[in-house]
């Protein structure tokens, strides 16, 4: 039986399973890590092929290089599969170097959004010489074909969406084509995952991520989603989604969920079908999801609340309508105001996301967004610095200008952005971000609001933990 180790390397706490985001959680104000579904899906596919799989999320486990080396020695994998981020990719290669040192002949495979837009020339640099294969499509759909081809020593050119070595040189096959049949995948191998690591941020209860849909038809110019998941909305059936929810409840004792979709609420009728099926099966669960500020309506929101939705993450981005137009958000400041009013009326909490540092932004633009965040007074708030990931329209616009101080490799959107604006340096953007956290999330009014909603000592402890992290983050500059 072949063995395969799928892992997140012990290099910082990044959202490695979120290829469109890849955020450094140590610099996040209030974000929580999500389950390693990318590893879980690939492990489930490998198991169907007869592999013995092991999943390790070293950062979430608070385990280091010695633990990784011990796992290599004891498990003795034939394959190691690593999820990389653009910010850490060069450091991540140390994990492959270590694997080869302790298991000569081990086959190394990497997956991550960076491989979708990078070139073969880049991957022929010395730092990547320890990597045998890289997946440049949706890894869970590609990994099975890749493993079979390697084992059977068959042609790799027929597999779309990979890089492989030919006579020592990394070459790329044809572009990956998005799979319509999402239900052809097995459920993630949660029996191999440490589900207690991934929790609901307020209660600390185990929280599973359910990938319900992929793709987004909207053209936001900074977003990696069209690159990672495509522009067409691909949805799982409501029956299949709720089957997975039932398995989590009955087999793993998980009752808290995050519904992962690039935008959950676009197809209103489908959302209502999912909710009706949860209600019909009488699942006593709670869940959160992400959405755009429109389209939303009160009937759909009430149905979501009835089915257990407690939190919606909204990409509000900016308080400036001209900025929203330039980034092709397809929404206005007033749309955000209306969305927040509707959601609050339903009793669902809101996690509001704002973005700072677009090329044309001045200090006044950012202060306007900070003021707007205060006005909306949402339950959870995050300020991101806009990162021009390769493959996005944002990157293409500024790649040959002095606004891009370096490539995104080695940089992240929280702690060391690689960009500046026409009016602000990267240090000034970081200072304004820290100011935003202090003025909005650490204000007396916001703290009092949070304290009033705490229902238990456990919740108090969790909010205090996030509050201390937020304070630390806001004082970094």
pLDDT tens-place values along the chain, 477 residues long: 899 999 999 998 888 877 777 777 676 666 678 899 999 999 999 999 999 999 999 999 999 999 999 999 999 999 999 999 988 999 999 999 999 999 999 999 999 989 988 899 999 999 999 999 999 989 999 999 999 999 999 999 999 999 999 988 999 999 999 999 999 999 999 999 999 999 988 888 999 999 999 999 998 998 888 888 999 999 999 999 999 999 999 999 999 999 999 889 999 999 999 999 999 999 999 999 999 999 899 999 999 999 999 999 999 999 999 999 999 999 999 999 999 999 999 999 999 999 999 999 999 999 999 999 999 999 999 998 888 888 889 989 998 888 886 665 655 655 667 788 999 998 899 899 989 988 988 888 887 887 777 777 777 666 666 666 656 665 655
Beta pairing class for 213-214 and 349-356: unpaired
Q: What are phi and psi of 46, to 5 degrees?
A: -60, -40
Looking at residue 446, what is its pLDDT? 81
CA neighbours within 13 Å on the CB side: how many for 99?
29
Q: Specify the pTM.
A: 0.91
3-172 — its CATH code?
A: 3.40.50.280
The DSSP symbol for 4 reads: E
Structural contact between residues 179 and 139, judged by C-beta atoms closer than 8 angstroms: no
Q: Looking up tokens 């399973």, which residue turns up?
A: 17
Looking at residue 332, what is its pLDDT? 96
Looking at residue 402, what is its pLDDT? 86
Domain boundaries, the chain: 3-172, 199-474
Contacts of 127 (CB under 8 A, 6+ apart): 90, 93
Cβ atoms < 10 Å from Cβ of 136: 22
Looking at residue 410, what is its pLDDT? 59
Contacts of 205 (CB under 8 A, 6+ apart): 199, 255, 256
**Of residues 85, 166, 178, the one with CA closest to residue 120:** 166
199-474 — its CATH code?
A: 3.20.20.70
How distant, in Å, are the alpha carbons of 182, 213, 261, 343 from that of 179?
7, 12, 15, 33
Q: What whole-number distance in Å separates Cα of residue 386 and Cα of residue 412?
A: 10
Looking at residue 4, what is its pLDDT? 98
Contacts of 261 (CB under 8 A, 6+ apart): 211, 212, 213, 214, 289, 290
Residue-wise DSSP of 21-35: T--BGGG-SS-----
Cβ atoms < 10 Å from Cβ of 184: 8
The DSSP symbol for 282 reads: T
Looking at residue 463, what is its pLDDT? 61
Looking at residue 469, what is its pLDDT? 61
């Amino acid at each position: 039986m072949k063995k395969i180790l799928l892992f997140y390397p012990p290099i910082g706490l990044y959202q490695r399973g979120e290829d469109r985001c890849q955020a450094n959680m140590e610099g996040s104000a209030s974000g929580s890590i999500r389950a390693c579904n990318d590893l879980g899906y690939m492990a489930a596919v490998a198991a169907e092929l007869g592999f013995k799989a092991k999943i390790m999320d070293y950062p979430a486990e608070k385990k280091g290089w010695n633990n990784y080396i011990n796992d290599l020695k004891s498990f003795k994998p034939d394959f190691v599969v690593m999820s990389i981020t653009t910010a850490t990719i060069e450091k991540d290669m140390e994990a492959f170097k270590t694997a080869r040192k302790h298991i000569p002949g081990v086959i190394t495979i990497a997956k991550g959004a960076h491989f979708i837009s990078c070139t073969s020339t880049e991957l022929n640099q010395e730092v990547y010489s320890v990597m045998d294969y890289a997946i440049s499509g949706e890894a869970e759909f590609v990994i099975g074909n890749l493993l079979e081809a390697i084992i059977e020593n068959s042609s790799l050119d027929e597999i779309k969406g990979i890089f492989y070595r030919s006579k020592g040189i990394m070459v790329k096959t044809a572009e990956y084509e998005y799979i319509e049949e999402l239900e052809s995948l097995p459920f993630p191998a949660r029996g191999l995952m440490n589900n207690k690591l991934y929790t609901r941020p307020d209660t600390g209860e185990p929280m599973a991520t359910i990938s319900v849909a992929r793709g987004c038809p909207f053209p936001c110019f900074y977003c990696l989603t069209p690159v990672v998941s495509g522009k067409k909305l691909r949805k799982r059936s409501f029956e299949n989604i709720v089957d997975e929810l039932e398995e989590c409840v009955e087999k793993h004792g998980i009752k808290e969920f995050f519904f992962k979709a690039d935008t959950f609420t676009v197809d209103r009728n489908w959302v209502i079908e999912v909710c009706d099926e949860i209600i019909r099966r009488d699942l006593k669960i709670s869940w959160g999801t992400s959405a755009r500020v429109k389209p939303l309506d009160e009937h759909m929101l009430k149905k979501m609340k009835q089915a257990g939705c407690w939190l919606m993450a909204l990409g509000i981005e900016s308080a400036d309508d001209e900025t929203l137009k330039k980034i092709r958000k397809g929404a206005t400041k007033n749309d955000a105001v209306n969305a927040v009013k509707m959601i609050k009326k339903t009793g669902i909490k809101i996690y509001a996301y704002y973005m700072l540092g677009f090329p044309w932004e001045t200090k006044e633009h950012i202060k306007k967004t900070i003021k707007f965040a205060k006005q909306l007074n949402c339950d959870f708030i995050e300020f991101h610095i806009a990162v021009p990931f390769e493959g996005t329209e944002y990157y293409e616009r500024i790649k040959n200008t002095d606004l891009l101080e370096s490539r995104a490799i080695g940089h992240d959107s929280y702690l060391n952005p690689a960009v500046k604006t026409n009016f602000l340096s990267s240090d000034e953007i970081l200072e304004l971000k820290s100011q935003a956290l202090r003025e909005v999330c650490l204000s007396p009014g916001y703290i009092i609001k949070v304290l009033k909603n705490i229902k238990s000592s456990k919740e108090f402890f969790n909010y205090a933990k996030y509050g201390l992290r937020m304070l630390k983050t806001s004082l970094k500059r």
